[in-house]
Amino acid sequence: MNVRNMQLEIRVVPNSGKFSVCLKDGIVKVHVRGKAEDNKANLELEKELSLRLGLRVAIARGARSRIKTLEIPGESACIRRKLLDISNIKR
How far is it, in rounded angstroms, from Cα 74 to Cα 60? 15
Q: pLDDT (tens digit, 9 = 90+) per residue, 24-68? A: 888 899 999 999 999 999 999 999 999 999 999 999 999 999 999
For CA atoms 20, 70, 75, 56, give the dihedral sign: negative
How far is it, in rounded angstroms, from Cα 48 to Cα 54? 10
Q: What's the whole-model pTM score?
A: 0.89
The one-letter amino acid at 78: C
Confidence check: pLDDT of 8 > 50: yes
β pairing state of 67-73 and 20-24: unpaired
Q: How many CB atoms lie within 10 A of CB 57?
A: 20
